[in-house]
Every structure is written in C-alpha cells, then in structure tokens.
Amino acid sequence: MDATARPVLILYCALPGAGKTTAARERAREIGAIGFSAIRFSPIRFSTDEWMADLGLDYFDPLRDRVQARLDRLWRELLEHGQSVILEDGSWTRAERDELRRVARGFGATTELHVFDIPVEELWRRLEGRNTRPGHGEVPITRELLDESLQRFEAPDAAELALFDRWIVHTGGS
C-alpha cells in the first residue's frame, strides 16, 4: 500500500429514502475489497442515525446535537491522522458541503461527493415501505417531514460539483 496516499472524505448529498446508507456501505466494501492504492485504509463510515439507535435514542431526542458534535470531532481526528472517512449524513446545504470540503482540504484529504437525483414520489414510495419495516438506525419519515426536508435541501450545481476531487450522481426510479 502506498504510504504517501492521501485520505478521502466521502460525502453523501441526498434526502431520506434516496439510498445513502446502501450506497455508503457498498462504497466502503468496494474500497476495502479493492484496496485502492489511492486510499491508505478502508474508510470508516459514520451514520448519525445508526449511532443514535445504538444509544437507544430517538432521532428527535435533544441529545442528538451532542452526539452529532462528538461524531464530528471523531471523524475530523481520524481524517487528520490519515484515515479515510465516509459521512453518510445528508449534507443538505451548500454551506455545509463547503465547510466539509474546507476541513478535508485542511487535513490534506481529497473529497468525493455522491449526489442522489431521485424523484420525490420515488423517495416517498421508498419511505412508505421503509416506515412499515424500519431497520436499525432508520428513522420513520412522514410525508410532511419529507416535504419540509425538500424546502431546506440545496442540490449542488455543476459549479459546486467541480470543486470536489471526484463526484458521482446517482439517479433512478425504482
């Protein structure tokens, strides 16, 4: 393995139901299985929803902000020490993505952004199915909550995508 390889911060930009968890798990397996020479170690995947579930906390629990702050410190420390990191949380706003990219570059890491362009009705169809049988760390999402999320979500444009070292747009219906 190349000792000079740079760590990678892998981000996911998507609304609930888009497939972030599935894609993040696949990406982690892909990198670990291939042993990319461009990445020193298999990345560590962070999912705030899963950590909340592991702690027995509801997604809307007031402790969420404290858990999120601790996870933020942890992934930054890992990245600083050369460990590649996957942040599975949605990275909904341009300001958030700009900050994450700035932090990564400050630690000498490259950046990879996965964007999900999934029709809203398909998101809702997936969420309805997931709501009936939620898995570990999956938060039940109402249509109202999805609609509120849509109002806050800022999809990256071509100019923003160009700021990342690598970017992938995932599309799909069913």
**Mind listing the pLDDT tens digit of every residue in the chain (174 residues)?**
344 578 999 999 999 889 888 898 888 888 764 444 444 557 888 888 788 788 887 777 888 888 889 999 999 999 999 999 999 888 899 999 999 999 999 999 999 999 999 999 999 999 998 888 877 667 788 999 999 999 999 999 999 999 999 999 999 754
| Domain spans in the chain, listed from the N-terminal domain onward | 8-171
Q: What is the pLDDT of residue 137?
A: 66
Topology of domain 8-171 in CATH is Rossmann fold (3.40.50)
Tell me how far apart the alpha carbons of residues 3 and 91 are, in angstroms, rounded to a whole number. 30
- Residue 148: count of CB within 10 angstroms of its CB: 12
Q: Is the dihedral of CA 55, 58, 59, 64 positive or negative?
A: negative
Q: What is the pLDDT of residue 173?
A: 54
